Structure formats: structure tokens, C-alpha cells
Structure 1
Amino acid sequence: MRDFDESDPWRRARSVHGMAHYSGDYASATTSGQVVYESRLELARLLLADFDPSVCGIYAQPLRMVARIDGKVRSHVPDLLLVMGSGTVRVVNVKPASRLKDPEVAQALAWPGHLIERHGWEYEIWSGAEPVLLENVRFLAAYRHPGAVPADEVERAWQEVVDGEELALAERRLAGDREPEEARPALMALLWSGRLTTDLSAQPLSGECVLRRHG
């Protein structure tokens, strides 16, 4: 995937007054750089990719595909390319579920998938995730960058947290004589990194969430 390391997105996302789309740059913890997006839905998929510990590379609008389909020359720029630590490559197109009902849209997304899979890569058409999961990941994303929480506080929390205890109990125990909320950032950083896990799809993050040590 070194071929993509110095590549630029094929389209440069622009914010224009009155434009329906929501575009910008996402500061990725995985890449330690900016990744462009062109909609809130793309941003949601970026967040989940950045949160996924199996993802080691994220590239926006990574390539332009050109093929002759039914006698016509067609081109397509996928939204994302994800590289996994296992070496697997996944090309992702983000599209609202309502748009997939349009036969022309479905066809425009189908032929790139056939070529990508023939190349030995995975192909994903993504239309969203459970709202609770997305809100929890958005909250944890505030702790995604190294240094957002002092490293010594994170390591102390990692050494002292007990597998299977509830978040509120962990906060009280780690805080000692301080307010429990003061121990929270270190635990949130551990949840973002995947060293701690909890069920993020069942309910909003709360003191009742059960923490599990991982790794």
C-alpha cells in the first residue's frame, strides 16, 4: 500500500455556502494526518475506521477506475480505501440507504465492486450504523490523539483497572481523594485505543458500562 502513502485525493472537498453536502478534513489518529470527507455519512464511516484497531491505513478518494461497461466508458472514484493490519484491503463506497433504491445508483456502485473483488480486495457499500454506536464513538474520539490525556495517567489507569468492573466503580477507585470525573479521561483514552472494551452498541456510555481488559 506504499503506492498510496503520498497520494492526494482525486477530488478536493470544498465547503461552499448553501451547499447541501457537509465536507471537511478529519484529523485521523490512525494516519496522524488529515483525511478528507464530503458528507456527514462519510465522516461517520471515517470515525469507525479510525476507531477500528484492525485498520492501519485510511485513504480518501484513493484511485480513479475507468472501464467500458455495456459499450460505454465509465469512471468511478471510491470514497475510501482501508488497509488492515492483516494485509487485507477494503474499498468503501458510502451512500445513503435511500439512494441505493435508485437502479442507476445501484448499477454505478456494482461494476466497481466486481473489478475490485477480481483484484483480490474487499468491497463495501456502507449506509450507516446504529446511532448509539456512532454517538459513543464520537464521544470517545475526543481522546483519540496521543497526548490528549497524559501518558502516565493512561498507563496508571491501565495497571489498576480491573477486568469486569463497571465504569463508575473504576472511576471512583482510580480517583482516590479526587472527584471521580478526574479519572475518566484516562479510561476514555483506553477505550478509544481498544486496550479496554465495552459494549458500545447497547446503550450510551454510562457508569453502568462493564469494562473488559484487552491485550
Structure 2
Amino acid sequence: MVAQPFLLKAEVDGAVRKHIPDYLLVTDEGPVVVDVKPLHRLSKPEVAFTFGWTREAAEARGWKYEVWSEPPTAELENVRFLSGYRRDWLFDRGLVDELRGADLNGVSLRRAAASLPGRPEEQVRSAVYHLLWTHEFTVDLDRPFSPAHLLRRTA
């Protein structure tokens, strides 16, 4: 990945246009040119125009072109929330291992928190959130977290 990798200069509609893309990704499938812009600015005519001719220039070389924006609000808030559970050393290793060995695939967050009767639910819930952060489990991040979210094992 290279930030601000090059200056694109092209004649578009009779005028010389210049643009520096935000990133160039070198992938196994070939180069990918990426521009990053907040979602609310994508509808501005000058942004749409610039990204349009940038796409044409990249694709003319056989490269991919993508525009990235912030994720939907619920997803962003969920990720921010889970980031509070990222620090391994804050969690009881035995508790985390018990949860790893438990059959929690398809279980709601509410049931998962109560799945280890000898452990306080708050600690179990926190450890489940940690396992979500480390991608050992996943849930639907497109809606705000609730006790009804279903866990899916990723490994």
C-alpha cells in the first residue's frame, strides 16, 4: 500500500485536470487505486466528476478503482465499542479458554453471557466481546448491539 502514490494528469472535457489518489494497493489481482472521501461529500458534482475521470484513467490501464467512505453509523459505533475489549491482558485466560471451548455458535449474546454458571455474567460478557474483537466470533455489525445478537464462530 502506498499513500498518495502519483499525480494523475489528464485532459478531460478540453481542460487539463490533476488529481492525486489517496492510495495505491498492490494486490495479487493487480493494482487498485483508492480514493477516500466522507459519504456526505460523494454527491458533490466536483467530487463525482473527479472520481469519474480518475476511474476511467485507472481502468484504462487495467487497474481497479474504488472509493472508500466511513462505514454505516451502527457498524462504526459497534467497532468503537468492541475496541474497548481489545487488550488481552485484561481478561482471565481461563475464562477466555472456557468460552473458546463452549458451543456458542448461533447463541445470543444474552445466552452466551449466562453460559458459564460459575462465572459472573459481566465478566463472561466482557470476554465474549473480547473474542468478537479478536475475530474468534462474529455478529451482525450493521445494527446496534443488543442481547439478541447471534454469535457465529469464525474458526
**For the superposition of Structure 1 and Structure 2, which TM-score range results when normalised by the shorter chain?**
0.7 to 0.9
Aligned to 2:111: 169
Instruction: Write out per-residue CA displacement over residues 12-69 of structure 1, whole angstroms, 9 at most, x where no aligned residue.
Output: xxxxxxxxxxxxxxxxxxxxxxxxxxxxxxxxxxxxxxxxxxxxxxx6x341233232
Question: For residues 56 and 29 of structure 2, what CA distance do their matches in structure 1 show?
Answer: 20
Tell me, yes or no, if structure 1 residue 196 matches structure 2 residue 137.
yes
The count of aligned residue pairs is 153
Larger Cα Rg: Structure 1 or Structure 2?
2
**Cα deviation, residue 73, structure 1:** 5.3
2:33, 2:66 within 8 Å by CA — same for their partners in 1?
Answer: yes
- SS class of match (2:10): strand
Tell me, yes or no, if structure 1 residue 205 matches structure 2 residue 149.
no
1:197, 1:212 within 8 Å by CA — same for their partners in 2?
Answer: yes
Q: 1:214 to 1:132 in 2, by over 3 A?
A: same
**Cα deviation, residue 182, structure 1:** 0.5
Aligned to 1:101: 43
Aligned to 1:156: 98
**Cα deviation, residue 75, structure 1:** 3.2
Q: Which one scores higher on RCO, CA 8 angstroms, separation ≥ 6?
A: 2
Q: 1:116 to 1:156 in 2, by over 3 A?
A: farther
2:109, 2:151 within 8 Å by CA — same for their partners in 1?
Answer: yes
Question: For residues 135 and 40 of structure 2, what CA distance do their matches in structure 1 show?
Answer: 33
% identical aligned pairs: 33
TM-score using structure 2 length: 0.74
- Tell me, which stretches of 5 or more residues in structure 1 are unaligned? 5-58
Q: 1:152 to 1:178 in 2, by over 3 A?
A: closer
Q: What CA RMSD, in Å, does the superposition of the two structures yield over aligned residues? A: 3.0
Aligned to 1:110: 52
